[in-house]
Amino acid sequence: GNSVTQMEGPVTLSEEAFLTINCTYTATGYPSLFWYVQYPGEGLQLLLKATKADDKGSNKGFEATYRKETTSFHLEKGSVQVSDSAVYFCALVELTGNQFYFGTGTSLTVIP
């Protein structure tokens, strides 16, 4: 079956620190991979996505590379800001299916 596993949080970093949030997946086919971000009191927002192996998704300084050999899609940012404090969700959808599978989320707090 399909599933997504994220590193557990919460993660607390100082401003300008380097961020990595690990995500690995299990899929029966060839999924598209996503990172969504959820700010306090809001719904999920699409942060970035990658649709095939070796694709790199990027947005707002965040990057993630679709690694088929390690079934991973780790989220990285070189220098985090206080405004990046949120919960980050890794997700996948199979190309032949319809259902999204979400990880449990990783809470990030960036302190000044």
Partner 1 sequence: EAGVAQSPRYKIIEKRQSVAFWCNPISGHATLYWYQQILGQGPKLLIQFQNNGVVDDSQLPKDRFSAERLKGVDSTLKIQPAKLEDSAVYLCASGRRTDTQYFGPGTRLTVL
**Residues 38-77 interacting with partner 1 (rule: CB under 8 A):** 41-46, 49, 51
Among 66, 105, 108, 110, binds partner 1 (CB under 8 A): 105
Using rule CB under 8 A, residue 82 touches partner 1: no
Peptide bond connecting 10 to the previous residue in cis, omega within 30 degrees of 0: yes
Q: Are β-strands 75-77 and 62-65 bridged in parallel, bridged antiparallel, or unpaired?
A: antiparallel
Using rule CB under 8 A, residue 88 touches partner 1: no
> Does residue 93 contact residue 6 with C-beta atoms inside 8 Å?
no
How far does Cα 40 stand from its chain's mean position?
17
Amino acid of residue 33: L
**Complex with partner 1: residue 18 or 39, whichever CB lies closer:** 39
Where does this chain bind partner 1 (CB under 8 A)? 4, 32, 34, 36, 41-46, 49, 51, 89, 91, 93, 95, 97-100, 102-105
